[in-house]
Amino acid sequence: MDSVDRAIINRLQGGFPVSDHPYREAADHLGISEAELIQRLEQMLEKRQLSRFGPLYNAERLGGGLSLCAMSIPEEDFERVAEQVNAFSEVAHNYARDHRLNMWFVLATETPARIESVLAEIEDVTGYQVYNMPKKEEFFVGLKFEV
């Protein structure tokens, strides 16, 4: 990762332009071409220097449902279950944790009512219980990592 890649990451963590040509606008602020910005983002994704690049939508503001979920999966079955859980389009941010509840993921659904049915489907497919932990109160903490 060179200084231009670092500048891209540092700059774009604070937001991405909303315009007719957002990549061109972002590239102009960075002093590079639109094509170079896109190429560098693709390379960082391919090299896994970035895990994803894209918008984060607030499902609840769009009328959807959102919940944090956890499962307790035996080590020998973890990869199979992770693959099954990740196959659901409603599942995002699936992480392994060193805890009795060792699989944690975020569930985002088109409607709040759909959360329970997706959780039931996940339990049917995997054979394991899903613990649903909907938020009670929301706090926003901005987090930016300088690289």
By the 8 A CB rule, do 51 and 106 touch?
A: no
- HEC profile for 61-100? CCCCEEEEEEECCCHHHHHHHHHHHHCCCCEEEEEECCCC
By the 8 A CB rule, do 125 and 84 touch?
A: yes
Residue 2 has what pLDDT? Answer: 95
- In terms of C-beta density within 10 A (0-12 exposed, 13-18 middle, 19 or more buried), how is residue 58 classed? exposed
* Enclosing H/E stretch for 122: helix 114-126
| pTM score above 0.85 | no
The answer on pLDDT for 123 being more than 80 is yes
Residue 126 has what pLDDT? Answer: 98
**Across residues 123-132, what is the average pLDDT?**
98
The answer on pLDDT for 143 being more than 80 is no
pLDDT in tens, 8-57: 999 998 889 999 999 999 999 999 999 999 999 999 999 989 877 887 77
By the 8 A CB rule, do 107 and 69 touch?
A: yes
* Enclosing H/E stretch for 121: helix 114-126
Residue 42, φ and ψ in degrees, nearest 5: -60, -40
CATH numbers and ranges of domains, the chain = 3-46 (no CATH), 65-133 (3.30.70.3460)
Residue 58 has what pLDDT? Answer: 73
Residue 60 has what pLDDT? Answer: 79
pLDDT in tens, 57-97: 777 778 889 999 999 999 999 999 999 999 999 998 889 99
Give the strand order in the sheet containing 103-109.
Answer: 91-96, 103-109, 65-71, 130-133
Stretch among 33-37, 50-54, 130-134, 137-141 having the lowest mean pLDDT: 137-141
Residue 129 has what pLDDT? Answer: 98
